[in-house]
Structure 1
Amino acid sequence: MNRYLVLVMRNPGFDTGLVPAHRDFLAGLRAQQRVELAGGFGDASGGAYLLRAASLADARAIAERDPLHIERASTVTVHEWNAT
């Protein structure tokens, strides 16, 4: 599996009530051993997580299931990451 950096940036009018569903989503990915690291940015503009997936298309499909993306509370972008 490859690694992908998923950026989750808050949109204007961000609904903090969606955070528990987002955390549950990440917990499910951790249980599947798909998320290595996750966390919010210190300025509260969003956060990121390191996702393991077979391909960029697979990583995007997974990230698009994030409740923050589904509810359009955040903009989600996925980048293939060649970490060393």
Structure 2
Amino acid sequence: MKIFAVLLPMRDEEKSNVYRPQHLDYLAKLREEGKILANGRFTDGAGGLVIYRADSYDTVKAYVENDPYVVHGARTYHIHEWEMVTGRGPLQN
């Protein structure tokens, strides 16, 4: 498995407020399925970050493009494959 960092920059704050419950429910489902390692908002209001675990970029892109925030134009996104380093070194596959 690979690790992907997905930035979700704010596009429309009003839409973000409207679709937040759906977005959080969607992420909770993916987290329960083991597809998300972590997620959270930026405290400055700039958007948020989701750390996905997946086999490919295309898989993560499909997850992101089904996120209610993205579907409804509340957020844009940037996907980056990421080599996560912990106190013990890079996270192993």
Q: What TM-score do the two structures reach when normalised by structure 1?
A: 0.93
Paired AA for residue 5 in structure 2? L
Structure with the greater alpha carbon radius of gyration: 2
% identical equivalent positions: 32
Which residue does 1:27 correspond to in 2?
28
Cα-Cα RMSD: 1.1
Contact 2:12 2:73 in 1 (8 A): no
Deviations 1:3-62 (A, max 9, x none): 000111111454101000000010011110111111000111100011001101111111
Equivalent in the alignment of 1:56: 57
Aligned length: 84
| TM-score relative to the length of structure 2 | 0.85
Query: 4+ runs of 1 displaced by more than 3 Å?
Result: none
Does the CA-based 8 Å contact 1:14-1:74 persist in structure 2? no
Which stretches in structure 1 are left out of the alignment for 5+ residues? none
